[in-house]
Chain A
Amino acid sequence: MSSRFQHKRLSSRYLLLSLVVALIPLFIFAGLYDRYFEQLVSKITDGRVNTQVAAVQNEFKVYLRERLYQLDVLADELDSPEIFSPKGKSNLSNELEALLRLQTDLNNVYGVAFFNSNKQLLWSFPENSLSVGRYASILPFNTPFEDAELLGPEPYSFNHPASVLLMKQLSSSKLDNEPFYIGLIIRFNSITSILKSLSTDGIFTPYLSTPGDRYFDIVGQPAELLGISQSFDLISNWSISLNQNGVLAEPPSAALRYWLIVLVLFTAACLLIVHWYISRRLNTQVSSLIEGIERVASGDLMSPVPQQRGTEIERLTDAIEKMRFQLSNVIQSNIEMDRRASLGNLSAGLAHDIRNPLNIIRMTTKALIKRESKPENKEMLTMMVDELDRANRVLDNLLNFARPSQPKQELLNVSYELNLILNFLQTTAKAQKVDIRIVCDESFELSTDSGHLHQALINLVLNSIQSFNGNGGTILLKSFIKKEYLCIAVIDDGPGIPNEIRSRILEPFFTTKETGTGLGLAICQSLVQANHGRIHIDSCDTGTVVELQFPHQPNLDDTYE
């Protein structure tokens, strides 16, 4: 098959169509999704984020202002110089202590700290809510916020959460114009959690940038900024950094597009693999079928066309096999008919042209024998008569095969007929040390020509006796019913028929005996067929079974010629 016609194959067209049907919608979907995604991301990043950031910026400042106002309230009440001393706590009145407790009950405030004019820590409430060491650690990170200072956050530690200090100078006439300071110790995590709303949609991870170029996530853990980030100011040195999450960080849906391309390639590859597999399977099946057909075409009618069960061309191979079988039968039948016609003509000619002269020669020779006085000559003439008798028998056989006599249907008792055969051949069998037995139901009856049956059975039994080559053996004549047939089997335990000649033994003139005519089995078959029966031979190293199968109720008609 030329490759230039390959595209016209159905499978190739199917492949092309499949690719078009599968890939075009995929490309359209991918394009639409890409565009939609691009718009969506743009909308979120450009519009919504700015709004959210503005809200967080405002919330951050409001939060600090609230703490500042809280500090103002405390400053208004705690304006006694005695409080701003190392033992200041003992100078607190019950009311002021209660006020401090009330203010520090809030979850976001750890405590209140008091400082002298040099901003040295005096004491804190509750006790030790701010130590000298922790205060020192936040001093370098100072950010002015309105009229106060925001100190911190303190360096991150696993040991405790960080805090920031909102410190303000007190200005009161009671303080003798000496500047004291009061500070609110604020929970740093309450500040980082303000950024929480920026992470709810999962597109950004917000970080709080604090003095000292330190970044913290929304639960107060230190963080390192990786990749692209946007920065939004809060107050001096404090800002929000927004990191776009990895999945969305690349230009619109790059990862998604990559996966779509992979999906397209995968779909195409799958279609090609399916196409290759189906084509290969069909080619194998068709090639096998073509080989079978070519064998038939070249005259080999005996080799069956390989059957392909469960395949697409099962019915086709079945039909071709049936056709080969029928064709083989028709041809065999025609050959057989031709052979019989030729033999018929030949035997008729022989009967007419040879038999009569032979009979005259025989009668003359017999007359000569009677007159001959010399024993030597008499013996020679007798031999001539014997040979003429042999030639006559050959002619009889030939005539029997070519034109067997028309069967005369009569109802026979099979057991009786088998016993007749046994009696007839008993002497010959004994001479060859052969034991003949019969197994037959007394009730079996068969409608057939008794002469034909006798001739066929005698032929078969004699063949069996001869097969023993004088070594003796057993022959079983057995009759039985098999389906719609009454069978008469001649079974011997001789050496069997060699494999190489098994297929030819029914051919006329085929013989392995030096004095045989090669017509015995051919005549048997002819006689059985004339009585609507059939012959089946099975042989192995340990014996041979020849089975004559007759219909139970043979429908004999006069069509046979």
Chain B
Amino acid sequence: MLRKKLKTLATLSALLLGQPSFAYTQLGSISEDAVKVGCLFPMTGRGGLYGHDSQIGIQIALEHIAAYDRYPKLQVMIEDSRSKASRATRIAKDFVQVHGASFLCGVVNSSVALQVAQVAEEEKVFFIGTDHASSRLTTPLTNPYYFRLSNNTQQSMIAGAKYIKENLIPQIGNRPLRISYIAPDYEYGYSVWQDLTKALETQQIPYEIITTLWPRLFESNYTPFINALLDKPTDLIINSMWGGDLVAFIKQANSTKLFDHAKFANFDTGGNYEVLAVLGNELPDGLILSSRHHNNWPDTELNNWFVSRFKEISGRYPSYAAEGAYSGILAIAEALANTETYSSKEDIKKALETLVLHLPEDPIGFSSFMDGSTHQIQQVIAIGITTQNAEQPPAQKLLSNWSVYYPSHFQ
């Protein structure tokens, strides 16, 4: 019976491969000569909000681009990847082979991103990563067509290690910091852990690993994992879940003494507005969180404009995915604007490698810039503490007491 089912599945997948095209959402120019960008985001399921926010971020970027003559016409196609590598790679190929996309962008899941990057390399189109963070794609750089416009896990973990050294080590006295780690069981979780341990060693932080736990992505019941964390004395629990997984974990941990048991940190995505909004008052005070973009930091004209424009369009505040997608599309436009001919991939590559962009997450006096050797954007990382603040409802708590780390500090 099961064998039959699986065989049917295999046949279906073969049939799906034969399908000519997906029904995608199209934004931007409808002109035939517009540069085509194919974006892949999860639009349904636990990661669905990332896709919807990214779409609005792209819309804002296209508005910005349309306001300046120096930018080329862009046509952006968006399709639901469902966070599945098989589907994402087929869509990517479809964008390139059927719709003539010169750029791929987006992708939230790091495992999916690895496989889409392979497609990009095979098809010789640029892949502008916006939301996935595994450092495996950029450290070392193995794919010349890959560029990432958001911080990767290596950068976040170096900032996290600096934060630990400055704020937590002085509190524990003369002994190693006891760390427990819990992460989703896929590429992103492994990458964060690898980067974190490397950063702790680079920063010469004495630490002892108590345990590492790997619940599956989209796990529904975290109780056994929370009990396992509570079983052992720990100074710091480092969590690298994101989105709905992190929300579910915090909700379930709230009914235990986990947040009294040890300090809790999520240095890469925990401070995402999506998490703050869904948890509201259920979000405990004093959690150490960061995110790739914050709605309340930096307090600059550009960031305030971006957040308020997003709210005008959607009626709500953005998650970090919106600014990631905005950055990705803007990067493509900026690179093309700096290129003499759009057809020269080498010129575009050079333009991307030397890209400098002023983005909403940049504090005054700083602009994000691309590291040509790794194809990884270099940005400022701010880590904050959850505190009562209802200025951006439905979130009842926002981050404050910022510790800010500039790119030069990462090394």
Binding site for B on A (CB under 8 A): 65-66, 69-70, 72-73, 76-77, 94-95, 98-99, 101-102, 104-105, 107-108, 126-127, 158-161, 187, 189-190, 193, 196, 199, 217-221
Q: Once the chains bind, are A199 and B86 in contact (CB under 8 Å)?
A: no
A159 surroundings in chain B (CB, below 8 A): 190, 193-194, 197, 212
Report yes or no: B224 in contact with A218, Cβ–Cβ below 8 A: yes
Per DSSP, chain B at the interface is helix
Write out, one digit per residue, whether chain B residues 96-115 have a CB within 8 A of any chain A CB (1) or not (0): 00000000000000010011
Residues of A within 8 A of B212 (CB): 158-159
B397 to chain A, nearest CB (A): 29
Q: Mark B68-88, 1 if CB is under 8 A from A, else 0.
A: 000000000000000011100
Report chain A residues within 8 Å CB of B86: 98, 101-102, 105
Kindly state the interface size class of chain B when it binds its partner: 35 or more
CA distance A528 to B194 in the complex (A): 114
Whether A161 contacts B185 in the complex (CB less than 8 A), given A65-B2, A102-B9, A105-B85, comes out as yes
Task: Give the secondary structure class of A's interface.
Answer: helix
Instruction: Give 26 A-B contacts (CB < 8 Å), ordered by A residue.
Output: A66-B2, A69-B3, A70-B6, A94-B17, A99-B13, A101-B86, A101-B89, A101-B115, A102-B9, A104-B85, A105-B85, A105-B86, A107-B216, A107-B217, A108-B216, A126-B85, A126-B111, A126-B115, A160-B214, A187-B216, A196-B221, A196-B224, A199-B224, A217-B228, A219-B225, A219-B228
- Against A, the Cβ 8 Å flags (1 = close, 0 = not) of B385-399 are 000000000000000
Residues of A near B193 (CB, < 8 A) are: 159-160
Query: For the complex, what is the distance from the CA of A219 to the CA of B219, rounded to whole Å?
Result: 12
Q: How far is the CA of A505 from the CA of B231 in the complex (A)?
A: 91
- Nearest CB of chain A from residue B181's CB, rounded to whole Å: 8
Q: Is B356 an interface residue (CB 8 A)?
A: no
A105-B228 contact in complex given A158-B209, A161-B214, C-beta closer than 8 Å: no
Contact A69 B213 (CB under 8 A): no
Partner of A105, one of B3, B84, B224: B84
Query: Knowing A104-B85, A161-B185 touch, does A98 contact B13 (C-beta < 8 A)?
Result: yes
Q: Bound state CA distance, A196 and B89, in angstroms?
A: 35
In the bound complex, how far is the Cα of B224 from the Cα of A217, in angstroms? 9
Does the CB pair B190–A160 fall under 8 Å? yes
Are the CB atoms of A98 and B90 closer together than 8 Å? yes
- Which residues 8-56 of B have a CB within 8 angstroms of A? 9-10, 13-14, 16-17
Partner of A102, one of B13, B213, B218, B228: B13
**Contact status B216-A221, CB under 8 Å:** no
Q: Which of B13, B16, B216, B218 contacts A189 (CB 8 A)?
A: B216
Q: Residues of B contacting A94 with CB < 8 Å?
A: 17
B211 within 8 Å of A (CB atoms)? yes
CB-based contact A219/B213 at 8 Å: yes
Q: Tell me the minimal C-beta distance from A13 to chain B in angstroms.
A: 50
Q: Which residues of B contact A99 (CB under 8 A)?
A: 10, 13-14
> Cβ of B257 < 8 Å from any Cβ of A?
no
A158 to B3, CA, bound (A): 36
**Of A69, A104, A160, the contact of B2 (CB 8 Å cutoff):** A69
Residues of B within 8 A of A76 (CB): 7
CB pair A190–B17 under 8 Å, yes or no, is no
> Residues of B contacting A101 with CB < 8 Å?
85-86, 89, 115
Residue of A nearest to B6 (CB): A73
Are A189 and B85 in contact (CB-based, < 8 A)? Answer: no
**Chain B residue, CB-CB nearest to A160:** B190
| Minimal beta-carbon separation of A296 from chain B (angstroms) | 69
Which B residues have a C-beta under 8 Å from some C-beta of A? Answer: 2-3, 6-7, 9-10, 13-14, 16-17, 84-86, 89-90, 111, 114-115, 181, 185, 190, 193-194, 197, 209, 211-218, 221, 224-225, 228
Contact among A69, A126, A158, A221 with B228 in the assembled complex (CB-CB below 8 Å) = A221
How many angstroms between the C-alpha atoms of A108 and B218 in the bound complex? 12
**Please, how many angstroms separate the alpha-carbon atoms of A159 and B212 in the complex?**
8
Which residues of the other chain, A, contact B215 by a CB distance below 8 angstroms? 189, 219
Establish whether residues B6 and A187, one from each chain, have CB atoms under 8 Å apart when the complex forms: no
Whether A126 and B114, one on each chain, are in contact in the complex, defined by CB atoms closer than 8 angstroms, is: yes
List 14 additional A-B contacts (Cβ < 8 Å) besides A99-B13, A105-B86, A159-B197.
Answer: A73-B3, A76-B7, A77-B10, A98-B14, A98-B86, A101-B115, A108-B216, A159-B193, A189-B185, A189-B214, A189-B216, A190-B216, A219-B228, A220-B214
Across chains A and B, which 9 residue pairs bring their CB atoms closest together, nearest first? A101-B86, A161-B214, A102-B86, A73-B6, A107-B216, A102-B13, A158-B212, A105-B84, A158-B209
Q: Give every chain B residue within 8 A of A218 (Cβ-Cβ).
A: 224
Residue of A nearest to B228 (CB): A219
Say how far B372's CB is from chain A's closest CB, in angstroms. Answer: 25
A107 neighbours in B (Cβ, 8 Å): 185, 216-218
List of A residues within 8 angstroms of B111 by Cβ: 126
Give B82's nearest chain A residue, CB to CB: A105
Question: Cβ of A199: which chain B residues have Cβ within 8 Å of it?
Answer: 224
**Residues of B close to A193: CB separation below 8 A:** 224
B20 to chain A, nearest CB (A): 14
Residues on A with C-beta less than 8 A from B214 are: 160-161, 189, 220
Q: How far is the CA of A72 from the CA of B85 in the complex (A)?
A: 22
List of A residues within 8 angstroms of B16 by Cβ: 98
Tell me the complex Cα distance, A294–B223, Å: 78
User: What B residues does A220 contact at CB under 8 A?
Assistant: 213-214
Complex CA gap A76/B6 in Å reads 11
| Chain B residues within an 8 Å CB radius of A104 | 85
Which B residues are CB-close (under 8 A) to A160? Answer: 190, 193, 214
By CB atoms of chain A within 10 A, which of B10, B14, B209, B214 has the most?
B10
Instruction: For the complex, give the distance between the alpha carbons of A158 and B114 in Å.
Output: 23
Q: Please, which residues of chain A bring their CB within 8 A of the CB of B6?
A: 69-70, 72-73
Residue of B nearest to A200 (CB): B223
A219, B218: Cα distance in complex, Å: 15
User: How many Å from the CB of A202 to the closest CB on chain B?
Assistant: 10
What residue in chain A is nearest B4 (Cβ atoms)?
A69
With both beta carbons as reference points, the residue of chain A lying nearest to B15 in the complex is identified as: A95
User: Which A residues lie within 8 Å of B228 (CB)?
Assistant: 217, 219, 221
The residues of A that contact B213 with a CB separation of less than 8 Å are 219-221
Nearest-CB residue, chain A, relative to B187: A126
Q: How far apart are the CA atoms of A158 and B2 in the complex, in Å?
A: 35
* Residue of chain B at shortest CB distance from A100: B86
Complexed CA–CA distance, A199 and B225 (Å): 13
Q: Write the nearest CB–CB distance from A245 to chain B, whole angstroms.
A: 12
Residue ID in chain A nearest B214 by CB atoms: A161
Q: How far is the CA of A56 from the CA of B408 in the complex (A)?
A: 54
Chain A residue nearest to B9 in the complex (CB): A102
* B8: nearest chain-A partner, CB-CB: A73
A residues near B84, Cβ cutoff 8 Å: 105
The CA of A101 and the CA of B112, in the complex, are separated in Å by 10
Q: Which residues of A contact B211 (CB under 8 A)?
A: 158, 221
Which residues of chain B are near A105, meaning CB under 8 Å? Answer: 84-86
Whether the pair A73, B225 counts as a contact (CB closer than 8 A) is no
Cα(A378)–Cα(B215), bound, Å: 144
Bound complex: CA A219 to CA B9 (Å): 30
Q: Which residues of A contact B185 (CB under 8 A)?
A: 107, 161, 187, 189
Q: Within the complex, what minimum Cβ distance (angstroms) separates A129 from chain B? A: 10
| A102 proximity list for chain B (CB < 8 A) | 9-10, 13, 86
Evaluate contact between B17 and A95: CB separation under 8 angstroms: yes
Which chain A residue shows the least CB distance to B193?
A: A159
**Residue from the set A94, A102, A196, A220 with the largest chain B CB neighbour count within 10 Å:** A102
Among A127, A217, A219, A220, residue most surrounded by chain B Cβ atoms (within 10 Å)? A219
Q: B212: shortest Cβ distance to chain A, in Å?
A: 5
Docked Cα-Cα span, A439 to B60, in Å, equals 108
A72 and B115 contacting across the interface, CB-CB below 8 Å: no
A104 to B13, CA, bound (A): 13
* Chain B neighbourhood of A69, CB < 8 A: 2-3, 6
Taking CB as reference atom, which chain A residue is nearest B221? A196
A70: chain B residues at CB < 8 Å are 6
- Residues of chain B contacted by A221 (CB below 8 angstroms): 211, 213, 228
Residues of B within 8 A of A77 (CB): 10
